[in-house]
């Protein structure tokens, strides 16, 4: 049985109330706030039953409002980068704001992560947030109505994304939670984490982290993560761009398929990610640095990892990539499952 409670978390400068919704199952506690439909905390026990918060965040609403590193939020309309902030759809060129090198990233500077979402329901162990993005919001066509539902089912956090539009528009939603399975009591770099990813190919990127359009085999490279790989500082520092910030093209066998498994070698926490999407962006906190967060912890480079289930980046400009267009007759749907366990077996407290 999942418990849910709601409290006030803060107020924006224009008087909008930020609410904190807390979900609690037998072993896991999740905090959700309506700015960016964000995960504000995620408390999970280790193999010894010690509970700790394993995601980046801030102790108050203002921290999330001011943050430009996408901590725990839903990003969109289009996650990741759109080349040159431009695309052609329905016979017209659409121009988006540039906020990441020469490209548009995560929907623009005022994307879904900065919006105050409505909470439309909280029952049956779930909380649903909704937001309406008007036509030409951040340059995108069509009015888009999006919902994100977080459900805590035992030891699994399920995230369901849905969106509908009155005209064709690109959509690629994901959650940008930054994980460190060491927890805030032992928040260090990722060198005690092992990662496996169910992908035979990945998408190389240029100097601005934009996909080049090439589909590359992982075999024989540092991108072959079929077997768990230790995320050492030597590995991450020697990767192009100083760490992983790449889309892995998932091996899809069924509607719900394995994307990644992250394991902390010392405390035994295990995070398994499943999805129905064709890709997962692995990002190892390459651009973190000196950010003061919760519990007195400073978030620095390579101290957190994002596991972002998604469509392939810049798909709107790559016709060989999976289709990213949400149409009035074809609403957008996407589900991700984050399941927690330990190297010793199921969670316990």
Question: Which residues are annotated binding-site positions for beta-D-galactose?
Answer: 80-81, 245
Determine phi and psi for 35, rounding to 5 degrees. -90, 115
- What are the binding residues? 80-81, 245
Strands 51-53 and 291-292 turn out to be unpaired
Q: Would you put residue 199 in left (φ > 0), alpha (ψ -120 to 50) or beta? A: beta
Determine phi and psi for 317, rounding to 5 degrees. -105, 5
Rg (CA), the chain: 19
Q: What is the 3-state secondary structure (H, E, C) of 17-69?
A: EEEEEEEECCCCEEEEECECCEEEEEEEECCCCCEEECECCCCCHHHHHHCCC
Active site residues: 176, 308
Q: How far apart are the two ends of the chain, measured CA to CA in Å?
A: 16
Determine phi and psi for 63, rounding to 5 degrees. -60, -45
Q: Give the rounded distance of the alpha carbon of 103 from its chain centre.
A: 19
Contact yes or no for 55/147 (Cβ under 8 A):
no
CA distance 32 to 24: 11
CA distance 323 to 36: 25
Of 190, 155, 193, 180, nearest in space to 53 by CA: 180
């Amino acid at each position: 049985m999942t418990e849910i409670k709601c409290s006030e978390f803060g107020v924006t400068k224009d008087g909008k109330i930020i609410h904190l919704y807390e979900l609690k199952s037998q072993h896991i506690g999740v905090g959700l706030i309506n700015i960016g439909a964000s995960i504000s905390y995620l408390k999970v026990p280790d193999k010894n039953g010690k509970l700790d918060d394993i995601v980046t965040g801030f102790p108050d609403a203002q921290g999330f409002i001011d943050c430009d590193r996408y901590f725990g939020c839903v990003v969109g309309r289009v996650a990741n980068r759109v080349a040159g902030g431009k695309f052609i759809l329905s016979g017209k060129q659409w121009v988006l704001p540039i906020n990441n090198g020469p490209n548009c990233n995560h929907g623009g500077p005022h994307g879904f992560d900065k919006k105050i979402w409505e909470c439309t329901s909280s029952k049956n162990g779930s909380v649903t947030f909704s937001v309406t993005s008007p036509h030409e919001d951040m340059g995108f066509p069509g009015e888009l109505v999006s919902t994100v539902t977080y459900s805590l089912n035992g030891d699994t956090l399920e995230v369901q994304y849905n969106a509908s539009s009155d005209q064709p528009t690109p959509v690629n939603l994901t959650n940008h939670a930054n994980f460190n399975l060491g927890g805030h009591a032992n928040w260090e770099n990722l060198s005690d984490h092992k990662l496996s990813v169910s992908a035979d190919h990945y998408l190389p990127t240029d100097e601005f982290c934009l996909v080049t359009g090439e589909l590359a085999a992982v075999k024989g490279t540092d991108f072959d993560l079929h077997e768990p790989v230790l995320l050492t500082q030597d590995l991450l520092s020697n990767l192009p761009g100083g760490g992983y910030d790449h889309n892995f093209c998932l091996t899809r066998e069924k509607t719900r398929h394995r994307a990644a498994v992250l394991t902390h070698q010392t405390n035994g926490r295990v995070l398994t990610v499943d999805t129905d999407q064709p890709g997962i962006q692995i990002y190892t906190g390459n651009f973190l640095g000196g950010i003061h967060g919760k519990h007195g912890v400073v978030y620095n480079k390579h101290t957190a990892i994002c596991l972002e289930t998604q469509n392939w980046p810049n798909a709107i400009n790559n016709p060989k990539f999976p289709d990213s267009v949400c149409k009035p007759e074809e609403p957008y749907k996407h589900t991700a499952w984050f399941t927690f366990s330990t190297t010793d077996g199921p969670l316990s407290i």
